[in-house]
Every structure is written in structure tokens, then in C-alpha cells.
């Protein structure tokens, strides 16, 4: 492709997805994010990307296209990770959680913009148990926007990220293109934390929150035993960083260690509530591989069809 493929990022957060697309050679036209702390960090790292800092429900499709400098049908990829707390198994998982309805704003802009492809990321809690009904409704709505859509569970630890982080990735292709959506295959073996961080004397890792109970820490969702450092890190959370046992002393993983576990480069600049940003972020290296797969297996085919 001669020109760089284009992307708009909804619910852009601190910029994990944006960085992944940038690594894959995409040009981001607009980011949409309401959280001021996230916007601060985003602007520090992506000063050349326009950002809409406000409520997505108040952003019309017409204004979105005007800010991005595009017309309907021109955008290559619409990306977005609607807030997932209403689906997460670490939360209360309520059907009525208003955050579960934010995907409707995503679908509204998808209908207005009609990009060639969309990518939507969320937690695996949305496909488990009674919450699967919500997932099936989401798929029905997205397909009703004029897209062939397919969802798969991808674990970041098989995509060059030293963290076990499962996420549902839904990829949709506009129906008129006649191309089936597909996902990248696992790229690597799981990378252990000891190798990723160069830890030599460390013995184990556990979550940084819960109630102490003999051989570990537990809470209502998890029994938190020490985890071998030969394994990838457990899923990073925004509550508190994991605790490392090193030289007989327990310590929190540092911000730079957590950022590296999430596959952010050392050059990435963090503003306020950085741990929260890392815990919520899509790992950039995971999104890079997804974006490369979309570029090579869908967008390039669409160009040849034209």
C-alpha cells in the first residue's frame, strides 16, 4: 500500500492501542477519550494526533469525520475498547451496569463512519456465563451496522507480551468488501517474567491485594498463591501492582517494570494514575500484530479488489 492505512481510536485511554497501530505503520487521525488523566498521558506521547476530550455520547458522526478530515467510507479502521468493568469477573457483572451500554456509542459511530474494518476489544467476562447474552447482543448490533464480524479470545502472552492477558477481539469487515474477518495466529511461546525483566534472585510473584491466608492471598474472586517467574506475569490490574519476592524481601513491581510487562517501551511518558493506565491498556505489541494482520490480510486484499 502506498499510503499509510488510517485509524480512529475510540475509548483511546492512555494510548496502548494507538502505539500498536503506530508500530504497524498506521496513521491515526483522531483519538476519543473522556478521562483527563488518560488524555494528559496520550498528549505527552502522541502530540501530533488530534484528540476529542469529552463524552463520546456527545460526539456526532459528522463532527467525528470533520475532526479526522475524512468522508463516510474513507476510514480504514475504527478501533475501540469500550470500558469493560461491567463485564469483568473481578467486578459485580451486572446486566444493568451503564458501562455495558457504551458499545452502543461505538456502534453508532461505526454506522455513521462506515470504515472498511472495525476492531473492538473487551474482557473475556463478556462471553462467560449469563453475560454471554450481552456478547451475543453486541455481535447482533455490530453485524446490523453492515459488517461481517467475528470474535476470538487472544492471549497477549502468545504475542510477544510477558503477561497472561486474555481479551476478546472482535474484528469486522464491511460487507461490500466481500472479505471474511480473521485473526492473527499465536506468534511466540509464552515469555517468562524472569527472562523478560532480567530478574535473577527473585523467587515468585503474587497479586498486590487481597487477604493473607497462609500460602498466599485470597479474595472473593481469586486464590492468590505465589506464581513462578518462569511463567508470564498474571494480568496486570489497575488496583495495585503485583508483589515480587526477591532476596527474601517482598516489594511492589515498579512502574517501569509494569510498563515493560505491558509491552510499553522505556521511552513512553506516564502522567497521573499511571498504574491504572497500564492496567486498563491494550498491550501495544498485541495490537501491533493485530494491526499488521488486518493490513496484510484484509486491507491489502480490499485494495486489490478496487
Position 82 pLDDT exceeds 80: yes
145 carries an active-site annotation: no
Q: Using one digit for the tens of pLDDT, what is the confidence trace for 179-227?
A: 999 999 999 889 899 889 988 777 789 887 654 444 444 444 445 678 8
Return the bridge partners of 163, or none: 233
89 pLDDT band, cuts 50/70/90, is very low
The pTM of this model reads 0.89
Q: Are residues 197 and 258 in the same domain?
A: yes
Residues 59 and 118 placed together within one structural domain of the fold: yes
In a domain, 292, yes or no: yes
173 and 243 in a single domain? The answer is no
Q: Using alpha carbons, list the distances in angstroms from residue 142 to 81, 102, 136, 139, 150.
A: 14, 13, 10, 5, 10
Asked whether residue 177 falls in the same domain as residue 30, the answer is: yes
Task: Note the pLDDT of residue 76.
Answer: 98
270 is a domain residue: no
Please indicate, yes or no, whether residues 25 and 174 belong to a single structural domain of this protein.
Answer: yes
Tally the domains of the chain.
Answer: 2
* List of residues 6+ apart from 135 with CB closer than 8 A: 126, 127, 151, 168
Catalytic pick from 84, 145, 233, 258? 84
Same domain, 129 and 200: no
Among candidates 247, 248, 203, which has minimal Cα distance to 226? 203
Q: Please check whether residue 226 lies inside any domain of the structure.
A: yes
Do 254 and 293 fall within a single domain?
no
What residue numbers bound the domain in which 111 lies? 6-185+277-305
Query: Same structural domain for residues 23 and 144?
Result: yes
CATH number at residue 24: 3.40.50.150
* 232 found inside a domain: yes
Domain contains 1: no
Q: CA neighbours within 13 Å on the CB side: how many for 241?
A: 20
Same domain as 226, residue 82: no
The answer on 170 and 151 residing in a single domain is: yes
Amino acid at each position: 500500500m502506498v499510503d499509510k492505512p488510517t485509524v480512529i481510536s475510540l475509548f483511546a485511554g492512555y494510548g496502548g492501542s494507538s502505539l500498536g497501530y503506530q508500530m504497524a505503520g498506521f496513521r491515526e487521525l483522531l483519538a476519543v477519550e473522556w478521562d483527563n488523566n488518560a488524555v494528559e498521558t496520550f498528549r505527552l506521547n502522541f502530540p501530533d494526533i488530534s484528540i476529542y476530550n469529552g463524552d463520546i455520547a456527545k460526539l456526532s458522526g459528522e463532527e467525528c469525520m470533520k475532526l479526522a478530515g475524512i468522508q463516510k467510507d474513507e476510514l480504514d479502521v475504527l478501533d475501540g475498547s469500550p470500558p469493560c468493568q461491567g463485564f469483568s469477573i473481578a467486578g459485580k457483572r451486572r446486566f444493568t451496569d451503564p458501562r455495558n451500554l457504551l458499545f452502543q456509542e461505538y456502534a453508532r459511530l461505526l454506522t455513521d463512519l462506515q470504515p472498511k474494518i472495525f476492531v473492538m476489544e473487551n474482557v473475556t467476562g463478556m462471553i462467560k456465563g449469563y453475560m454471554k447474552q450481552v456478547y451475543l447482543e453486541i455481535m447482533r448490533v455490530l453485524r446490523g451496522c453492515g459488517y461481517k464480524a467475528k470474535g476470538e479470545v487472544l492471549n497477549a502472552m502468545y504475542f510477544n507480551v510477558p503477561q497472561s492477558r486474555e481479551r476478546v477481539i472482535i474484528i469486522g469487515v464491511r460487507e461490500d468488501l466481500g472479505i471474511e474477518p480473521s485473526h492473527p495466529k499465536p506468534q511466540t511461546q509464552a515469555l517468562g517474567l524472569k527472562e523478560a525483566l532480567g530478574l535473577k534472585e527473585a523467587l515468585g510473584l503474587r497479586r498486590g491485594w487481597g487477604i493473607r491466608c497462609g500460602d498466599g492471598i485470597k479474595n472473593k474472586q481469586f486464590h492468590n498463591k505465589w506464581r513462578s517467574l518462569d511463567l508470564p506475569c498474571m494480568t496486570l490490574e489497575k488496583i495495585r501492582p503485583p508483589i515480587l519476592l526477591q532476596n527474601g524481601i517482598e516489594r511492589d513491581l515498579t512502574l517501569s517494570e509494569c510498563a515493560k510487562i505491558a509491552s510499553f517501551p522505556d521511552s513512553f511518558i506516564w502522567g497521573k494514575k499511571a498504574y491504572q493506565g497500564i492496567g486498563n491498556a491494550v498491550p501495544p505489541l498485541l495490537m501491533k500484530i493485530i494491526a499488521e494482520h488486518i493490513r496484510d490480510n484484509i486491507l491489502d486484499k480490499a485494495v486489490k479488489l478496487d
